[in-house]
Homo-oligomer: A and B are copies of this chain.
C-alpha cells in the first residue's frame, strides 16, 4: 500500500504531498492496528495461556505453593517468547483459609438456616469451636454508631449494604460499598462486637460468597470477619425484619504465617530508538484462593504478555522499551507494586506510560487515563483509529492499583476498561473460572491494549 501511494504522489501538486504524507502515516497506523486485531482473533494465544494458568495452576494466593508455580509458569512462558526475563524478589504476606467455613443462623421462630460464607482475606480464625452470638444488621457506619456499644457489645454485626444497581459503571458501586469489607471488622470492634459478616460485593442475588481484603487496627480487638452470599444476606435480613431474634454461628480456621519471598515477573523487548523510555503493560499474577482467578487477573496477565506476542507476529520492532510486568500480591498487600516502583525510582528509570488490565476479560470499551490534560487529549486524538474496535470511552479516570505507585508529574497511567456489567458476578468468588471467559472478548482486550501501546510507542506521549 505504501509503495503504491508513494509512486502516486509523484504527479501531485506540492500542497497535496504534505496531506498525503500524513495520510500514508495514518494508513500505516490503521493497517497495523487492523492487523493486530486480525492476529488476535485468528492466532491469539491469550485464551490458551489463560487455560493453562487456570487448569494447571488455578487459584494462586500470594505465598501459596500455587503462586510459586505461577511464577515459574510466567518465567517459562516469557522465555518462550524470547523476552529478557527477570524475577524481582518481594516479601509477601501469607494468609491461609484453612478448613471450609461453616455458617448458619437460628431464629426465635425456630428456623435453622445454613449460610454460605467465606473468611475475608486477612481475617483471624474463630477458633475451632466457632463463634455464636446474636446478630444485628446495619446498612452503614452511621447506623452502627447510633446503635452504640450498648446494643453492639457481644454481638455479630451484619453489614448488609447492597451494591447500588443504578450505576452504569459497576466499579462505582463497588467503590461505594467496599469500605464495609475492608473496614467492617474495625468499625464493629469499636463497639465491642465479637464478629463481622459482610454482604458479598455482587450485583446478583446468588449463593456464592465473595472474599477480599480486610484490615485490623492495632488499638482494637481483631475480630473474625466473613462474607456471606447475597442470597443468604437477603434471607437473614428478612428474618431480622420479621422481628425475629437471630443467633448467628460461624467457624473459620484461617491463619497468617510469617512473610515469605515471592516475585514480580518482568519480561521486556528493548526499544530500538529510545530504549530508556519504558512503556509498562501489566496485570497481577496472584489471585484470591477461590475459583481460578480467571478474570481477576489471569485475563490481565495474559493480555499484557499478548501485546508483545502480537508485536512479534506483526513484525513490529518498538522504538521504546515495552516491559510486561506480572505483579505479585495485588490482592492482599500490593507489595509487588510497591517494590517495583521503589526499585524503578531508585535506579532512575523513566516510565513514560504504564497500562494496567485488571477489570476482567470482557468486551473492550476504552481506557481511563490518569495524567496531564495534554496526554489525555493526545490519546483522545487517536479515538478515530480506535473507535472501529469499540474503544469509545477514553476518559479521565483511575488507572490501576499496581501501576499507581509509578505516577510522576510527567508520565501517564492508563487503565484498560472492558465492559463492566458482569465483572462483579465473579469477582473474588468461586465462579471466577475459565469457563466464564469468552475467547473473543479476551483476545479483543489484548489487541486493544496492543493498539494503544503501539500508538504510544510510535508517537511518544
Question: Which positions in A face B, CB cutoff 8 Å?
Answer: 37-38, 41-42, 165-166, 168, 170, 203-204, 363, 365, 387-390, 392-393, 419, 421-422, 425, 438-441, 444
Q: Is the CB of B363 within 8 A of A42?
A: no
Least Cβ–Cβ distance between A334 and chain B, in angstroms:
29
Known: A168-B388, A387-B392. 17 other contacts (CB 8 A): A37-B168, A38-B166, A41-B165, A41-B166, A41-B168, A42-B165, A42-B166, A165-B440, A203-B439, A204-B439, A363-B363, A363-B419, A392-B392, A419-B419, A421-B441, A422-B438, A425-B438
Closest to A39 in B: B166
Least Cβ–Cβ distance between A145 and chain B, in angstroms:
28
Q: Is the CB of B440 within 8 A of A203?
A: yes
A204 to B41, CA, bound (A): 12
* Residues from chain B with Cβ under 8 Å of A168 in the complex: 37, 41, 388-390, 444
**29 intermolecular pairs with C-beta atoms under 8 Å apart:** A37-B168, A41-B165, A41-B166, A41-B168, A42-B165, A42-B166, A168-B388, A168-B389, A168-B390, A168-B444, A170-B440, A203-B439, A203-B440, A204-B439, A363-B363, A363-B419, A365-B390, A387-B392, A390-B392, A390-B393, A390-B419, A392-B392, A419-B419, A421-B438, A421-B441, A421-B444, A422-B440, A422-B441, A425-B438
Least Cβ–Cβ distance between A166 and chain B, in angstroms:
5
A374 to B170, CA, bound (A): 36
Least Cβ–Cβ distance between A161 and chain B, in angstroms:
15
A199 to B224, CA, bound (A): 55
A109 to B419, CA, bound (A): 48
A365 to B425, CA, bound (A): 21
A37 to B165, CA, bound (A): 10
* Residues from chain B with Cβ under 8 Å of A204 in the complex: 439
Closest to A387 in B: B392
* Residues from chain B with Cβ under 8 Å of A392 in the complex: 387, 390, 392
* Residues from chain B with Cβ under 8 Å of A41 in the complex: 165-166, 168
Least Cβ–Cβ distance between A389 and chain B, in angstroms:
7
Instruction: List the 5 shortest-distance A-B pairs measured between CB atoms, nearest first.
Output: A392-B392, A421-B440, A41-B165, A38-B166, A363-B419
Q: Is the CB of B421 within 8 A of A363?
A: yes
* Residues from chain B with Cβ under 8 Å of A388 in the complex: 168
A389 to B392, CA, bound (A): 11
A350 to B236, CA, bound (A): 54
A444 to B167, CA, bound (A): 11
